[in-house]
């Protein structure tokens, strides 16, 4: 099965059903499929070849949802770029995967223009809200609306099979450069099938997604809603409390995926004034929710099933805690999901028993094919499994389990920071800090944070004579990093502690910090 069939089968079975609600727009499965076919045909006539990478650089919107499925229908590989990504990183990603087309909007075009030079592979820009077709250097700019109005709505001839790549999902790497996680149709179909089975999703589900589609947790809400023939309510982001409450009530939302930051903000308001009789489940991934938040959610939503989950982009989801267990083991992220095996190993790769800390290993058809054109990094995390040719995923996450096999997250093996459920490479933030004139040294660490999981903290020293303020440093970070990578704390130091071989000693930094 291919991922675009999630949409196609639902469109055949439930053509008139509302598939997508986005602001004032409501589209049926038939309408969405027709738009996806048109855009797919538009991509094909613009010259898209099988397996070509196509970047989607859009806010959460109807166009973004349509783009994802249209690219798959055309036999391409989609990558959704976080809409807050700055020009430099967008340029890096476009070059890294040699994307031939980019789908974006007129509002984002200025930022796109900044990075068009030296993007030789990029041939076509499809722009929502553009006035007319034009040529920008060697690139063709096509208005999306023109394609949706003129291209054929016939389904293009199917070209993919399930071992083809469907997506690249970029994630932070320890080198500081983002890595493209290669995901096949089979990977997505397997993960989506397992997740929708344990969530017991049905066509009656109405799922509210507040998370960016560039984040796999957000992306899967779209993919899974279409797979089950449910309705996706897609919001650009979560910023204002009351519109969220209104949406939950108006759309009779049944499923609400959260991350700890959103849960925390919701719980800062008095929710007991409202009733959400349709809400059936809340999911949380990223850091386990603080125990107090779980208690508050349970008290406010006694009839709602709360799923605490854990995952990483390389295999999508690892584990979920059955809702009946949440009061018993609130600190656990559960056990492996259906059709997947997980176990903990020591440094020699031997399985360990309960109570022992080791690295979590994942086995299943949801495990990625590797990092795009990074064979060495791939080899470090994908290692031979029990059957010929099989690879298992070494997650880099340290876990322990209890006697019944429930998993508890302990920390990372490397220095990657997990904040708001997404991975951030300290190196990537440090590189940006070093590029600010006046900065002598920079060291970025994660510090425990109830809401974010880990919060990003930067220690910096200044060049002699430099007089940077905290504001200067934060402003520079904001101009060069996605929102989630901007440090929450900046601390100026006169000098950095170093290790014997002269590297910055991050452990000493945080230990001194703890004493203060």
Partner 1 sequence: MQLRQQLRQFIVDNFLYGRASGLADDTSFLDAGIIDSTGVLELISHLEQTYSVHMEDHELVPDNLDSINKLAAFLKRKTKQRDAGAIHNAS
Interface residues with partner 1 (CB under 8 A) are: 84, 107, 236-243, 245, 261-262, 265, 268-270, 273, 469, 471-472, 474-475, 478, 483
**With contact defined as beta carbons under 8 Å apart, do 217 and 256 qualify?**
no
Shortest Cβ 27–partner 1 spacing (Å) = 23
Report the relative pairing of strands 101-105 and 53-57 from DSSP bridges: parallel
What is the separation of C-alpha 47 from the centre of its chain, rounded to a whole number of angstroms?
29
CB of 120 to partner 1, least distance (A): 29
Question: Nearest approach, Cβ of 55 to partner 1 (angstroms)?
Answer: 19
Closest CA to 380 of 390, 371, 367: 371
Pick between residue 330 and residue 453 the one whose CB is nearest to partner 1. Answer: 453
With respect to partner 1, which residue has the nearer C-beta, 250 or 269?
269
Structure tokens at 490: 């900046």
- Distances, alpha carbon 480 to alpha carbons 69, 97, 199, 279, 428, in Å: 30, 21, 38, 39, 10
For 121, 138, 357, 411, 505, the CA distances from 400, given in Å and listed in that order, are: 46, 54, 5, 10, 27
8 Å CB contact between 216 and 244: no
Q: Least distance from C-beta 372 to partner 1, angstroms?
A: 27
* CA-based nearest residue to 40, from 4, 2, 83: 4
Q: Taking the complex as a whole, how short is the minimal distance between the CB of residue 241 and partner 1, in angstroms?
A: 5
Angle formed by the axes of helices 29-45 and 62-73, nearest 10°: 60
What's the min distance (Å) between Cβ of 470 and partner 1? 8
Q: In angstroms, rounded to a whole number, what is the distance separating the alpha carbons of residues 267 and 270?
A: 7
The Cα-based distances of 35 to 8, 22, 145, 206, 450 in angstroms read 12, 15, 10, 21, 42
| Residue whose CB is less far from partner 1, 270 or 516 | 270
Nearest distance in Å: CB 475, partner 1:
4
Q: Are strands 341-345 and 134-136 parallel, antiparallel or unpaired?
A: unpaired
Q: Compare residues 132 and 270 and give the one whose CB is closer to partner 1.
A: 270
Give yes or no for a contact between 166 and 187, defined as CB atoms under 8 angstroms apart: yes
Q: For residues 33 and 449, which CB has a smaller minimum distance to partner 1 in the complex?
A: 449
Nearer to partner 1, 269 or 383 (CB): 269
> 133 or 246, CB closer to partner 1?
246
8 Å CB contact between 140 and 116? no
> Which C-beta is closer to partner 1: that of 264 or that of 365?
264
Question: Closest approach of Cβ 138 to partner 1, in Å?
Answer: 30
Count of positions (residues) in the chain:
516
Q: Which is nearer to partner 1, 84 or 365 (CB)?
A: 84
Min dist CB 341 to partner 1, Å, is: 37
């Amino acid at each position: 099965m291919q991922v675009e069939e999630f949409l196609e089968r639902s469109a055949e079975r439930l053509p008139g059903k509302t598939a997508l609600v986005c602001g004032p727009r409501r589209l049926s499965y038939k309408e969405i499929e027709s738009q996806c076919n048109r855009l797919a045909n538009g991509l094909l006539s613009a010259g898209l070849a099988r397996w070509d990478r196509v970047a989607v650089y859009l806010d959460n919107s109807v166009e973004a949802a349509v783009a994802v499925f249209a690219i798959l229908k055309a036999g391409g590989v989609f990558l959704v770029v976080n809409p807050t990504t700055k020009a430099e990183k967008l340029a890096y990603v476009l070059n890294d995967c040699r994307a031939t087309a980019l789908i974006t909007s007129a509002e984002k075009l200025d930022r796109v223009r900044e990075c068009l030079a030296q993007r030789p592979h990029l041939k076509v820009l499809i722009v929502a809200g553009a006035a007319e077709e034009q040529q920008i250097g060697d690139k063709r700019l096509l208005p999306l609306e023109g394609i949706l109005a003129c291209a054929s709505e016939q389904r293009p001839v199917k070209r993919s099979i399930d071992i083809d790549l469907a997506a690249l999902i970029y994630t932070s790497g320890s080198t500081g450069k983002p890595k493209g996680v290669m995901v096949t149709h089979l990977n997505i179909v397997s993960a989506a099938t397992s997740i929708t089975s344990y969530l017991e999703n049905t066509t009656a589900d109405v799922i509210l997604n507040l998370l960016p589609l560039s984040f796999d947790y957000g992306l899967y809400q779209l993919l899974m809603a279409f797979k089950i023939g449910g309705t996706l309510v897609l919001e650009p982001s979560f910023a204002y409390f009351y519109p969220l409450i209104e949406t939950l009530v108006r759309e009779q939302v049944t499923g609400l995926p959260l991350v700890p930051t959103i849960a925390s903000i919701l719980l800062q308001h008095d929710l007991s004034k409202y009733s959400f009789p349709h809400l059936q489940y809340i999911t949380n991934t990223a850091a386990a929710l603080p125990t107090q938040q779980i208690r508050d959610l349970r008290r406010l939503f006694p009839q709602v099933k709360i799923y605490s989950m854990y995952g990483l982009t390389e295999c999508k989801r690892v584990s979920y805690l059955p809702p009946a267990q949440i009061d018993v083991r609130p600190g656990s992220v559960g056990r492996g999901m259906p059709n997947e095996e997980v176990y903990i190993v020591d440094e020699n790769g031997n399985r360990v028993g309960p109570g022992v800390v080791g690295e979590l290993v994942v086995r299943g058809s949801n495990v990625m094919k590797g990092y795009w054109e990074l064979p060495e990094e791939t080899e470090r995390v994908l290692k031979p499994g029990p059957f010929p040719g099989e690879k298992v995923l070494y997650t880099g996450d340290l876990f322990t389990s209890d006697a019944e096999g429930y998993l508890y997250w302990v920390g990372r093996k490397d220095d990657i920071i997990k904040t708001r459920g997404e991975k951030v490479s300290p190196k990537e933030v440090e590189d940006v800090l070093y590029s600010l004139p006046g900065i002598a040294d920079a060291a970025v660490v994660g510090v425990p944070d109830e809401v974010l999981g880990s919060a990003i903290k930067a220690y910096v020293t200044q060049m002699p004579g430099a007089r940077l303020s905290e504001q200067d440093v934060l402003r520079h970070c904001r101009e060069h990093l996605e929102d989630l990578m901007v440090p929450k704390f900046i601390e100026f130091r006169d000098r950095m502690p170093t290790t014997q071989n002269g590297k910055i000693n991050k452990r000493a930094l945080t230990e001194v910090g703890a004493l203060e």
